[in-house]
Structure 1
Amino acid sequence: MLSDVTRGGLAALFGEDRLVTLPATAFPPPAADTEGARLLPTVGAPVGTLTLREPDALSGRLPLVRDVVHVTDFEDRDEARQETATWPVIGWLPTAHLAPTPSTADRRRAVARVARGEMSAQTVSDGGRVMEIAALVVSVLALAASAFVSLRQIRLTKHTNTLPVVVDLFREHRGLRLARAREVVFRQLPGWDLSTGMEGLPERERHLIRDLAWFYDNLGALVTHGVVDIEPVSGYLGGSVVSVWERMEPLVRVERAKRAQNNLPDPNRWQEYFENLYHLVKELPPPDARAQSRLWRLPQP
């Protein structure tokens, strides 16, 4: 119901700066008591859902249906065509002009014309059905447009919030410390005795490996819980996730076993998000993650 729509409600959903109004003087007298004529000057309509017509610069009035469309194309009854032609056009969707439903006074005049024999009751009935269908179609289109705008706004807000997180993570991954840690994992770790876990590693290298593991574990937590999307993570550093995990997995297993022997709670929690990130990247390999982007232009390897 239009009577349930308030400016505060629309402003909360779309933002005050996105609401536009029409002056009350833009409506011709026959449409002055329609719901649209009462609400559009005060409540307004959200930009992006529909576009409001600009009143004529000379008359200050809205154009009528007969001024913007050929009513003969959609109504074959002269009486209904004449009634429809006098409705003001308040705006349009991408493929449809919008005109407010006739007011109560208009409907009463139509009934009086039927009583005088100037219009058939069937014409009034057909016109009512047409308007009911048109109103339903417009409502569905407006709802779909509003849902699209709202979802896009939510997505843009999410990207705005997560962008600094992703940038910082990628910067840290490129840093000298983690680059040195990956070098240790690739070149030195396979040759060490891992039977005693982290304790058996040289102290300096142990700290590097620990920081690298916790980096991927923290990244895995963000991806697992939907804070960061898997696509850019896999596309940009998925190869490192896979190769580092496969070299560190024996060390992780030993550490988990030691925690279980010491009766520590949830011993498998150690690097669990890192392991889960590994499986997510295996499900969406880096080439596939990059190819899924609509802006990726390079061919698959």
Structure 2
Amino acid sequence: MDAAVVTNAVVAAISVITVVVSAFFALRQLRLSQHANHTLVAIELLTRDRMSDAFLDSQQFVLTELRTACPPGVPVSRLPAEARKHVNRIALYYNGLGQMLAFKVVEPALLLGTGGYRAREAWTVLEPYILAERVARGESYLSNFEHLAVLATETPWPMAVRRLGLRRFGSYPAEVGPVADAPTWANVDHEVGGTIGDPHRR
């Protein structure tokens, strides 16, 4: 075979490989950039909105007052204006987080480790109101919120803690609890469950 032909073939092959590799890394960089942007959006939702006085007031109402003020089973759209405002603020917030999970645009551990517990708690209260609203709107109403709540139920806080690899002290001072080895995960689950009435926890 002519040496020039071989050389040209090799050069052409190297050129093709170079283009493929460049395209691969460009696409990877684009995906990393998109992932970073989505993560920033998630952090914004998890911090700014969740820490606002308006959100905390709505969370307090939903978790401790809604079922007394409005019988379960009333569609969301038929709730009194003030109650509806609180419900929509909480439900749409968690629906947005669930949407990011559904489209896999953010690391699940980030959302489940920080918002999963409250999402599960809020869904427990809001479920009958949401299901009643679905009779009129269809099954897609707040389905991303439900998706988040299901995943949060399947990944309770103690499991999320383990997956995140959070470090813990081996023992605690007497004034904050028994002096012993680090509490078991069952104890942690019990402690987490005891924060239901306080919207400022976690």
TM-score w.r.t. the length of structure 2 is: 0.67
How many Å separate the matches in 1 of 2:118 and 2:10?
Answer: 56
2:47 corresponds to 1:177: no
Structure 1 residue aligned with 2:110: 232
Give the residue type in structure 1 aligned to 2:58: A
Structure 2 residue aligned with 1:219: 97
Aligned pair in 2 of structure 1 residues 199, 226: CA closer, same or farther (>3 Å)?
closer
Give the residue type in structure 1 aligned to 2:163: Q
The one of 164, 167, 182 equivalent to 2:40 is: 164
Percent identity over the alignment?
23
Aligned pair in 2 of structure 1 residues 2, 175: CA closer, same or farther (>3 Å)?
farther
Q: CA deviation at 1:293?
A: 2.8
How many Å separate the matches in 2 of 1:154 and 1:213?
Answer: 32
Aligned residue for 1:297, secondary structure, equals: coil
Aligned residue for 2:50, secondary structure, equals: helix
Give the residue type in structure 2 aligned to 1:255: E
Aligned residue for 1:223, secondary structure, equals: helix
Considering only aligned residues, what root-mean-square deviation do their CA atoms show, in Å?
A: 2.7
**Larger RCO (CA within 8 A; separation ≥ 6):** 2
How many Å separate the matches in 2 of 1:252 and 1:13?
Answer: 44
Aligned residue for 1:190, secondary structure, equals: helix
Structure 2 residue aligned with 1:286: 157
Structure 1 residue aligned with 2:63: 186
How many Å separate the matches in 2 of 1:187 and 1:284?
Answer: 24
How many Å separate the matches in 1 of 2:123 and 2:73?
Answer: 17
Cα deviations by residue, 1:233-280 (Å, 9 ceiling, x for unpaired): 1101111001000011111122122x0xxxx5xx11111111111111
Give the residue type in structure 1 aligned to 2:14: V
Structure showing greater radius of gyration is 1
How many Å separate the matches in 1 of 2:160 and 2:105?
Answer: 17
Aligned pair in 2 of structure 1 residues 184, 13: CA closer, same or farther (>3 Å)?
same
Q: Which runs of 5+ in 2 are unaligned?
A: 1-8, 169-181, 189-202
Aligned pair in 2 of structure 1 residues 157, 184: CA closer, same or farther (>3 Å)?
same
Q: CA deviation at 1:198?
A: 2.8
2:80 corresponds to 1:210: no
Q: CA deviation at 1:228?
A: 1.8
How many Å separate the matches in 1 of 2:150 and 2:49?
Answer: 22
Aligned residue for 1:292, secondary structure, equals: helix
Aligned pair in 2 of structure 1 residues 160, 284: CA closer, same or farther (>3 Å)?
same
Aligned pair in 2 of structure 1 residues 156, 196: CA closer, same or farther (>3 Å)?
closer
Q: Do 2:116 and 2:148's aligned partners in 1 also have CA atoms closer than 8 Å?
A: no
Structure 2 residue aligned with 1:196: 74
How many Å separate the matches in 2 of 1:11 and 1:200?
Answer: 56
Within-5 A mapping of 1:229-268: 229-257=107-135, 259=136, 264=137, 267-268=138-139
TM-score w.r.t. the length of structure 1 is: 0.47
2:173 corresponds to 1:297: no
How many Å separate the matches in 2 of 1:195 and 1:165?
Answer: 33
Q: Do 1:193 and 1:200's aligned partners in 2 also have CA atoms closer than 8 Å?
A: no
Q: Do 1:231 and 1:290's aligned partners in 2 also have CA atoms closer than 8 Å?
A: no
Structure 2 residue aligned with 1:5: 14
